[in-house]
C-alpha cells in the first residue's frame, strides 16, 4: 500500500484527516501495523494448508484468505 492508498482509505472510512497532514505519520504507522498483522495471519492460513488436504489448491487457499474478512 502506498501513502496515498492509506490516506484515500482513511477518507473512505470517514476518519478525520486534516489538510496539513499532521496526523499522517500516526495513521501510516497504524496502517503498517495492521497490514503486518494481517499478512502474518494470511501466512498462517497458507501454512495450515501445506502438505494437508485442508486446501487442495491455491484457489482454495486464496478463498480462505478472502473469507477472513467475513469472520468479524
Give the pLDDT confidence of 9-28 residue by residue, as tens digits: 888 888 766 666 667 778 88
Q: What span, in angstroms and rounded, lies between the C-alpha atoms of 41 and 21? A: 31
Calculated CA dihedral for residues 8, 9, 13, 14, nearest 10 degrees: -20
Number of domains in the chain: 1
* Percent with pLDDT over 70 in the chain: 85
The mean pLDDT value for 50-58 works out to 75
Which residues span the domain enclosing 33?
Answer: 3-14+21-70
What nine digits make up the cell of 58? 491455491
Q: Is the dihedral of CA 72, 24, 39, 60 positive or negative?
A: positive
| Neighbour count for residue 9 (Cβ, 10 Å) | 13
Amino acid at each position: 500500500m502506498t501513502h496515498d492508498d492509506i490516506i484515500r482509505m482513511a477518507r473512505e472510512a470517514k476518519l478525520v484527516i486534516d489538510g496539513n497532514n499532521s496526523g499522517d505519520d500516526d495513521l501510516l504507522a497504524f496502517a503498517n501495523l495492521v497490514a503486518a498483522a494481517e499478512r502474518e495471519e494470511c501466512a498462517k492460513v497458507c501454512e495450515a494448508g501445506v502438505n494437508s488436504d485442508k486446501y487442495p489448491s491455491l484457489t482454495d487457499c486464496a478463498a480462505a484468505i478472502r473469507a477472513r474478512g467475513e469472520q468479524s
